[in-house]
Amino acid sequence: MNLAQISSSVILILTITVLNSKKVYNSTIPNDVHLPYYVVPVHYSIQLSYISTNWKNYELLEFIWKEAFGFKYTYGSFFFRGETGITINILESTRNINLHHLNLITNYASVNVTTKNGIIHILNIYKYNYKTNILAFPFLYKLLPGLYTIKLQFYGYLRETHEKSFYEKISKENTVTFFIAPHIQATGMRQLFPCWDLPHLKATFAISIKHHRNLTALSNMPIKYRSTNRLMTLEAEVLTHFCTTPPMSTFQIAIVLTEYQPIRISENITLWCECYSEERSLKFKFARRIINDITLHLKSEFSGINIPKMDHVVIPNFSQDDTSKWGLVFHTEANLICDEQTDSVMHKIEVARLIAPKIAYQWFSNVFSYNWWTRFWLHDGLATLFGEETIVKIFNDSTIMDFLIVQNQYESLHLGSYFDMNPQITNLLEIDSLFSFPRYLKVLIVLRMLQSAITDKVFRNNVHTYVNRHIFSSTISLNFWSMQEPIEAFKCYIPSNKFLTWITYRHYQIVTFEQAEADSYKGKLSQIYNPIGQGRWWIPINLKNYKLQTAGTLSMKNLTTCLTPDLPSFILYVQQIDWAYDWIVNIQRGGYYRVKYDLKGWNAIANYLNSTAGEYEGISVINRAKIIDDAFHLMMENQLDVSIFWNLTQFLSQETNYVVWYPMIKVFEYMSTIFPISKDEIMFIDDIKAKLRELLDKPLMAILFDKHIKENGFTESFKQEILKWSCALKHIQCAKRAKDALEYHLQNPEIEP
């Protein structure tokens, strides 16, 4: 049988199937038909065959699909046939088997159910619900509890329908790749094979794919073996069999057919890319090293869970860059390109930040619950947290963690001022709103707060317990974990899972610290309820006396407490009047709230920072950045006098730490829109620019005249920002330096500038 005959046979079978099956799409069943909890999948055996559409009878295919589904067949889409045997466990007697089924043409004459004793039941009665995508097989008799296997044969057709499509074909000059994986759609794998398409229902999958031998098939598990027969050889086909998966959700299943070249990173890690030349493969050298280092560290962290292999697929201009499945990680090509010799440390960190959470997500991606979309942020945040911690260890630079905390905190609080960072999802139709904002920002800061409150050791133990308990389980997990004991260090009892409700509340709280009464020995710490941020907030707080270098001066240097909905205030007793102003709210790993001091408190902090000549042992890098950020925000909200803000920022003139400067650089960006405007249009614009130039003066001199600046991975970024804003504000030294450089180049044209 030649290729033309085989193609005609497939078309004939498909045509007969459509004509015989058409009545199913004209039948209806009640909208309240659902998937009963007492029928659950245990194992799927799936064989899919990709059918090339480069046929002369293309018009017939178009006619068939229009007849079956009412939409036009588009050339280049993914046309396939398949068969599946699904082992199900019936927990209670039933007269129905219902499963999800969407845009598939099923050969209903071949559908049957087999008991564990080998008795075969032909299923010749069936109905379909358009609204729920449920295909129902009613029985005239009861099926008793036990194991059964339902077998179906079908044809399917996948097409690109939107930017986040379930299916995508990537064609380049030298290669073609078919990408099949549910992103966040509610109708994912039911388009590829009939199934129980609910995320919390986990089963094992034995997948095999028939395809052209020029393509390589990838899926969630390693390849078990490849086979051919005479018929497939005529079509240049090969059948790729994959190892059986552990129990997982249909949302985790992914398939890739590609002509990309593999680059072996380690025994079970492979990078697939359009690397048809040595020059192109070298662009991924840094990424390959980072992928290997991150994976080794996370395998050690989560040693109790084995992921047999990881395929990293690099796709140019890939629209679903945030997609990651068990054993498969997808990247946009541009995000992985880095020259280890010439690119800056900041660029290397950024590349690592784009890679690390995707790899860490491998250990969280299969932890699904019945209402998984309401907890999607949690797994995203945990993956980002463990990914960022891994980056710090790989680069062996603690300043990176300071930067990540400050940057995440800044971005999250500023977005949280105006947007709902985690909108509540009540059903899957609203799920796209999960991706409206970088949702991990808020949860990351909240998780770091929790990590500080309960200690890193307790936090990690709880995360490991949570993941190990639910990664392969089909039980419904409603809580991250239950906090049964008080957080001892903070004397704070947080009811079960209440701390993480921070994520579901809009915006954030403002924490105030002030002298309780005039000339008193008491400082008062309070949380102010945000009228648009409704919720009940448990806020663990660390107070620090920033003027104490040793613990012997006073009875205590640090104090911990907790502000709760029932006790929203705390009184700090000090030994002398005004000593309350020697204390600040100490942000350790992060704080998803603003801090507001009274007038004397702000002035005391400003005097300390401005009088210590760059030695700030009492106030950490994270806290110095937080003070600038909160002060600017409060000033813009008319809750802080402008003169106090400028007084607070004066210490930056002697500061050369990029992380501390980061919020102020954002202030420069915010105000840059008014730089070109004259004083005739905006009053005091010249004064504002003069104050900004004054802040830049000493750091600029240190850079231009090569004065000692403490070197770290962010030094180059600090220099670039100072020079950029000095020139933007027309600092005299910037203009002079530019003039000197131009004159030197004109005198020495043979030397490149």
**DSSP per position, 3-26:** HHHHHHHHHHHHHHHHHHHGGGGG
Q: What is the pLDDT of residues 334-381, one digit of tens each?
A: 999 999 888 988 999 999 999 999 999 999 888 866 555 566 778 888
DSSP strands (E only) in 259-353: 261-266, 269-273, 310-315, 324-325, 328-332
Instruction: Decide: 635 and 667 in contact? Cβ < 8 Å.
Output: no
Q: What is the pLDDT of residues 442-457, one digit of tens each?
A: 888 988 988 888 888 8
Q: What is the pLDDT of residues 611-642, one digit of tens each?
A: 876 677 789 999 999 999 999 999 999 999 99
Q: Which pTM does this prediction carry?
A: 0.88
Report pLDDT for 21. 47
Per-residue pLDDT band at 406 (split at 50, 70, 90): very high
- Lowest pLDDT segment from 7-11, 592-596, 699-703, 730-734: 7-11
User: Residue 149: which of 273, 24, 75, 44 has the closest Cα?
Assistant: 44
Query: How many CA atoms within 13 Å lie on the side-chain side of 285?
Result: 9
Helix, strand, or coil (residue 299): helix
Averaged pLDDT, 91-110:
91
Report pLDDT for 4. 46
Report pLDDT for 341. 87
Report pLDDT for 494. 67
Entry field: residues in the chain: 753
Does the structure show a pLDDT above 50 at 550? Answer: no
Per-residue pLDDT band at 687 (split at 50, 70, 90): confident
Q: Which residue has the higher pLDDT, 160 or 111?
A: 111
Q: Which residue has the higher pLDDT, 288 or 449?
A: 288
Q: What is the pLDDT of residues 480-515, one digit of tens each?
A: 665 545 566 666 666 656 666 777 777 888 999 988
Going along the chain from its start, the domains and CATH numbers come out as 6-259 (2.60.40.1730), 260-365 (1.10.390.10), 674-752 (no CATH)
Q: Which residue has the higher pLDDT, 615 or 249?
A: 249
Instruction: Decide: 159 and 259 in contact? Cβ < 8 Å.
Output: no
Helix, strand, or coil (residue 281): helix
| Nearest-angstrom CA–CA distance, 610 and 485 | 43
Alpha helices in 637-680 (DSSP H): 642-649, 658-671
| Nearest-angstrom CA–CA distance, 542 and 589 | 11
- Lowest pLDDT segment from 105-109, 259-263, 454-458, 484-488: 484-488
Does the structure show a pLDDT above 80 at 277? Answer: no
Report pLDDT for 424. 60
Q: Which residue has the higher pLDDT, 4 or 385?
A: 385
The identity of residue 536, as a single letter, is R
Whole-number percent of the chain with pLDDT over 70:
76
Per-residue pLDDT band at 547 (split at 50, 70, 90): confident
Averaged pLDDT, 194-204:
91
Average pLDDT across the chain, whole number: 82
Q: What is the pLDDT of residues 511-535, one digit of tens each?
A: 999 887 766 678 889 988 665 556 7
- Lowest pLDDT segment from 27-36, 88-97, 303-312, 376-385: 27-36
Query: Across the beta sheet with 583-585, what order do the strands follow?
Result: 558-563, 539-545, 583-585
Averaged pLDDT, 37-44:
95
| Nearest-angstrom CA–CA distance, 366 and 326 | 7
Averaged pLDDT, 165-173:
70
Report pLDDT for 537. 84
Does the structure show a pLDDT above 80 at 666? Answer: yes
| Nearest-angstrom CA–CA distance, 595 and 311 | 45
Angle at which helices 621-636 and 642-649 pack, to 10 degrees?
160
Per-residue pLDDT band at 206 (split at 50, 70, 90): very high
Report pLDDT for 659. 95
Report pLDDT for 19. 43
Per-residue pLDDT band at 421 (split at 50, 70, 90): low
Does the structure show a pLDDT above 50 at 18? Answer: no
Whole-angstrom Cα Rg for the chain: 31
Sign of the C-alpha dihedral, residues 161, 100, 186, 129? positive
Does the structure show a pLDDT above 80 at 222? Answer: yes
Does the structure show a pLDDT above 60 at 435? Answer: no
Does the structure show a pLDDT above 80 at 65? Answer: no
Whole-number percent of the chain with pLDDT over 90:
39
Phi, psi of 747 (to 5 degrees): -80, -25
Q: Which residue has the higher pLDDT, 193 or 375?
A: 193
Per-residue pLDDT band at 568 (split at 50, 70, 90): confident
